[in-house]
Amino acid sequence: MSTLSTTGRVALVTGGSGGIGHAVVERLAADGYALAVHYAGNQAAADAVVATIIAAGGQAIAVGGDVADEVAMADAFAQTEKAFGGIDVVINTAGIMILSPVATLNLDDLDRMHRTNIRGTFVVSQLAANRVRAGGAIINFSTSVTKLALPGYAAYAASKGAVDAISLVLAKELRGKDITVNAVAPGPTATPLFLDGKDAETIERMATMNPIERLGTPEDIAEAVAFLAGPARWVNGQTIYVNGGMV
C-alpha cells in the first residue's frame, strides 16, 4: 500500500489566521505543507501565523481578500501559485454565524451569511476547481447543525446546507481530474465563533450532547481536515461529521 507524501504540497486555507482555520494551518505546516494563510480583515494575525511557521522552518505567506469577491480571491490564488509553484489543497474554513429564530431574524443578517457562507464557498470552490493540481483536494466547511436542527440556527444551517450541495456536486463534476471534494461538518467547537454570546449553561449543555461529553477543539477538526487533504484519496463527495458522535 502506498501513502501520499505531504512534503512539498501547497495548501491555501481561507480564514487561516484564527479559530479552526489557524489549527488547520498549524497541522498542515507540521505535515510539511507550504501554506497560504488567508485573512479577510486582520492582516496582523495572518502575518503572525506566517512568522511562526517560518520560524519553525516551514514555508508560508499571507494572502487577503473577501472570499465572496472573485477578483480578490483570484489574486490570492495567483499569489499562492507565484510563491510556491502551484496549489494542491484548498480548505475553505471562512464563514460567519448569526443566530436568531426565523420569526425575528434580521434579513440583512441573512444576506450577510449568504454572501460569505454560500457565495464565498462557491467563489473559492470555482477557483479551486480550475487551479488545484491533480492529486489534490478541496475541503469546504459545513456544520452538524444541518442535522441537529437546533432552534435559532435555521439561517446558518440553511447556508451550510448549500455548502454540502456545492461540495458534493463539484466532486462529481471533477470526474477524471483526480481531485477530491469533501465537506467537514464540525459539531460545537471551542472557538470564538461558537462561544461568543452563549452563557455557561448553554455551553455546558451543548458540550454534553455527544457521548464523549466535551466540546470539540480546533485541533480535533484539523485532524479530520489533514486526513482529507492528504491520505484520504478514496474519500470523495462526502460530508464528514466531526462532532464526537452527536448525530
Residues assigned a catalytic role:
156
CA gap 186, 198 in Å, rounded: 18
Query: CA 185 to CA 163: how far, in whole Å?
Result: 10
Q: Helices 120-131 and 70-84: crossing angle, nearest 10°?
A: 40
85-98 burial by CB neighbour count: b if 16+ within 10 A, else e?
Answer: eebbbbbbbbbbbb
What is the spatial distance between Cα 35 and Cα 26, in angstroms, rounded to a whole number? Answer: 9
What does the chain come to in residues? 247
